[in-house]
Amino acid sequence: MTRQKQGSLVVIGGAEDKEGDCKILHRFLRLCGGREARVLILSTASTDPSAGEQYGAIFTDFGAHDVRILAVPSRKEANQGEFKQVFAECSGIFFTGGDQLRITGILGGSRLGDALRQAHCRGAVVAGTSAGASVMSETMLVGGVDDATPKKEIIRMAPGLGLLRQVVVDQHFAQRGRIGRLLAAVAYNPEMLGAGIDEDTALVINEDGVCEVIGSGTVTIIDGRNVAHSNISESRPGQPLALTNICLHILAEQYCFHLNKRNVFLPAAKEETSR
Amino acid sequence: MTRQKQGSLVVIGGAEDKEGDCKILHRFLRLCGGREARVLILSTASTDPSAGEQYGAIFTDFGAHDVRILAVPSRKEANQGEFKQVFAECSGIFFTGGDQLRITGILGGSRLGDALRQAHCRGAVVAGTSAGASVMSETMLVGGVDDATPKKEIIRMAPGLGLLRQVVVDQHFAQRGRIGRLLAAVAYNPEMLGAGIDEDTALVINEDGVCEVIGSGTVTIIDGRNVAHSNISESRPGQPLALTNICLHILAEQYCFHLNKRNVFLPAAKEETSR
């Protein structure tokens, strides 16, 4: 008996190219099987019922024959629908952007949520953009102040879908000046890695925890494991955080990072650079 | 014969409090001698001739008896005026905000510039806010894209006044999302430390290279000395930078950093935390 392979994750920082070479969306579809892919688009994050249609049209245009859109606007529908079969057969699931709390509030612990998790465990690729990226984390960022000095209270967190362990994802990262909020999240628990994903940029993560950067921006990895000092436990409301000896990696396309070993691999030689 | 002590530097991230307890401006004046201070305000960075008056009124209001404003709007005036005496007697020099290239373009290599440097060498404190902070560096940031993925071409640099060695200063740091541009500057030459100073925050730097953070925000120190890999030499225009193993410190009020030893001292015990 062979062990089932968990599907890859494609964690997208939002605003991915949809008109040019669509590198990220093509990569997702290729991972799901290309023309043979069976793709489910989940637009639950958005209140706009047409949010999934744009992606549906794109994947169909790429040649995928079987693309379905599940809007699932309420928890009632997430528990009533007959999702088991459609998830059992899908090869890829794509979360659109919107509000990450809509995704977890509607899907978390529902029949649809269970079917999705089972699909991922048996090999279906799961992708998400913007809110759909944040929701991958076990504990996700749901809000925060952009372009801000890192402080304890500038972020709000909530339980995510937990498809990506020990990593807090932030998106629209450089474009919205979000390093302060991701640093605050890592300060909460430096065991977590912070992954700040720029727009039109994605991390493709395989089941062994190897991430590859694709797209036109960078992914900022914040590794707090060796933080020597943090004032988070004693800092008062409004007081800025202090954190020393954070390890930061700025990774561009083709760079890889091993989530478990926490080291970087260069594009060409896949040479290990951490020390 | 005792060696002359170089004056301290007060490097301010802009938008410092001018109405509340004015912690940063008070600290500058105290360093210059308080009521006995002889302060010169240099508003050359701004084309607005009244730019220095606000600071003049503040320092006078604090009790300083001898506050003068030097607008010096052109290189001609920087070379013609009789500055020697006034600089020889001053205990503090304050650069207002504006455009750092106006400061260096007008003062660099002029008689006024020489008098200023001599005053600093014999002990006068030099403070600068915003553009007046950037200009402290040997090679200064003069422009760049805010909230941007770090790329080689998103910044412009120029020779600064060089009062602060081996440190590239950036200001309005968290508020304008400037970590991308400061990372690019450090990537240019990882021997340089990057110091990103938030608004209403300052680094007070003594002649031994010990910096103390004051004010309501944080100072982000980017130490690239142990960068394991950088793609800056081979990256093409438009291509994002990749940098691995950057050491980052987020320092709040009362935290100190030793510029030469590159380590952090905590507020209470002045305990060394780097490792």
In a domain, A171, yes or no: yes
Size of interface A-B (CB pairs under 8 A): 145
> Quick check: is A272 catalytic?
no
A176, A235, A250 member nearest B150 (Cβ) = A250
Instruction: Please give, rounded to a whole number of angstroms, the shortest distance from the CA of A267 to a CA of chain B.
Output: 10
Enumerate helices (H) and strands (E) in chain A, giving the number of each. Answer: 8, 16
In a domain, B2, yes or no: no
Of A130, A134, A137, A230, the active-site residue reads A130
Q: Taking a C-beta distance cutoff of 8 angstroms, is the pair B200, B25 a contact?
A: no
In a domain, B275, yes or no: no
* For range A268-274, the mean pLDDT: 53
Question: What CA–CA distance (Å, rounded) separates B129 from B115?
Answer: 20
CB atoms within 10 A of CB A178: 30
Domain count within chain A: 1
What pTM does this model have? 0.92
Q: B229, A264: Cβ pair inside 8 Å?
A: yes
> Quick check: is A172 catalytic?
yes
State which residues form the domain around A54.
Answer: 9-261
pLDDT digits (tens, 9 = 90+) for B139-197: 999 999 999 999 998 999 999 999 999 999 999 999 999 999 999 999 999 999 999 99
| Environment class of B20 (CB within 10 Å of its CB; exposed 0-12, middle 13-18, buried 19+) | exposed
In a domain, B129, yes or no: yes
Q: A249, B243: Cβ pair inside 8 Å?
A: yes
| Environment class of A144 (CB within 10 Å of its CB; exposed 0-12, middle 13-18, buried 19+) | buried
According to DSSP, the β-strands at B263-265 and B256-258 are antiparallel
Enumerate helices (H) and strands (E) in chain B, giving the number of each. Answer: 8, 16
Closest CA to A126 of A8, A233, A224, A37: A8
Which of A214, A248, A274 best probes binding to B when mutated, by most B CB atoms within 10 angstroms?
A248
| Environment class of B124 (CB within 10 Å of its CB; exposed 0-12, middle 13-18, buried 19+) | buried
Closest CA to B98 of B169, B14, B173: B14
Question: What's the DSSP call for residue A57?
Answer: H
pLDDT digits (tens, 9 = 90+) for A68-90: 999 999 999 999 978 889 999 99
Q: B246, A242: Cβ pair inside 8 Å?
A: no
Q: Taking a C-beta distance cutoff of 8 angstroms, is the pair A232, A241 a contact?
A: yes
In a domain, A269, yes or no: no
Residues of B labelled as active-site residues: 130, 172, 199
* CA A5 and chain centroid, separation: 19
In a domain, B138, yes or no: yes
In a domain, B1, yes or no: no
| Residue B182 token pair | 């400061």
In a domain, A266, yes or no: no
First to last CA, chain B: 39
Q: A255, B242: Cβ pair inside 8 Å?
A: yes
Assembly ipTM:
0.88
B183, B241, B252 member nearest A231 (Cβ) = B252
Q: B147, A174: Cβ pair inside 8 Å?
A: yes
Q: B242, A218: Cβ pair inside 8 Å?
A: yes
pLDDT digits (tens, 9 = 90+) for A18-62: 999 999 999 999 999 999 999 999 999 999 978 899 999 999 999
Residues 6+ apart with CB under 8 A from B230: B187, B190, B241, B242, B243, B244
Give the CATH number, domain containing residue A124. 3.40.50.880
pLDDT digits (tens, 9 = 90+) for A220-229: 999 999 999 9
Which of A152, A173, A179 best probes binding to B when mutated, by most B CB atoms within 10 angstroms?
A179
